Amino acid sequence: MTKQSRILPEYNLEFEVVSRIPWFRAKLLAWFSMHGRSFPWRERGSTGYEILVAEILLQRTTAARVAQAYNAFLGRYPSWSTLAHTSPKDLREYLKPLGLWLQKAQAFQSLATAIEERGGSLPASRSELERLPGIGQYIASAALLTLYNQPEPLIDVNMARVLERFFGPRKLADIRYDPYLQTLARRVVNTEKSLQVNWAVLDLGALVCKNGIPLCLQCPLRAKCEFYKQSAARQEGLPMMRVAEAPTVYGVASSLGTCISEASASTEVSSSLCSTSELPVVNPPPVTE
């Protein structure tokens, strides 16, 4: 398989799933306006360099940790050119506290060299972005979304977990190639507030719909959440309804909060497993149903 994402056919989502999307989005956005996290790379006017640096740093590192190091990194390495010409050893040493330092140093320098060869410009299409070293589906989506205002979904395991729990489990193990999850995520973020919806899903996944045990009683989505409905039925001893077709044990396990196999994902996607912080919920969001 080539490095580039395959173009997946549109999945025929059930009416019941599609009909819940506007409600899901509205509740999420209301929650996000009160509880969304702010990070330096989410600030308006961030450059392509700043966005891509953040995404690479976030690989397998919590957002809270990256937030602490981010501005210092940009101060030391302010451009693709600086990164391309810095000593690899120095860069590796500098990245050590942020984890996955060998891979990150390699990704930074290969990408910086490739972008320098392009005269410093960043392409504006997915196919061209994904041809660059160190850029896979997730980072290409982040660039298209934040720099070019395209409604692309930031599908990492946090987004996958929230969508699966709310709407029903995916069909394939690898989130990059699951047509149901990809179609669903695209429909969810297909709005003029695409950026905010993406961030809201990621933040809810990090703060409320956590990996492991979700904090459903603090969740604005629980009135229509399949996972919550199932859990409530289980606790009341009611007969269980099937949440959705679950052709693989993997899909069921992931929707229940079990950790997703990193082996099935690319370096980029697997690195996104931990790319959002596990900050405590300071102010539990109000549940309005």
Binding site for ligand SF4 (CB under 6 A): 162, 165-166, 208-209, 214-216, 219, 221-222, 225, 227-228
What is the nearest approach in angstroms of ligand SF4 to the Cβ of residue 5?
A: 26
Which amino acid makes up residue 151?
Answer: P
CA dihedral 156, 269, 99, 164 (to 10 degrees): 30
Task: State which residue, 172 or 287, has the beta carbon closest to ligand SF4.
Answer: 287
CA–CA gap between residue 267 and residue 120 (Å, rounded)? 25
Secondary structure (DSSP) of 60-78: TS-HHHHHHHHHHHHHHS-
Task: State which residue, 124 or 241, has the beta carbon closest to ligand SF4.
Answer: 241
CA dihedral 141, 137, 201, 28 (to 10 degrees): 50
Task: State which residue, 52 or 209, has the beta carbon closest to ligand SF4.
Answer: 209
What is the nearest approach in angstroms of ligand SF4 to the Cβ of residue 209?
A: 3
Please check whether residue 98 is in contact with residue 56, taking contact to mean a CB–CB distance below 8 angstroms: no
What is the nearest approach in angstroms of ligand SF4 to the Cβ of residue 259?
A: 16
What is the nearest approach in angstroms of ligand SF4 to the Cβ of residue 217?
A: 8
| Unique residue bearing structure tokens 């497993």 | 273
Task: State which residue, 192 or 289, has the beta carbon closest to ligand SF4.
Answer: 289
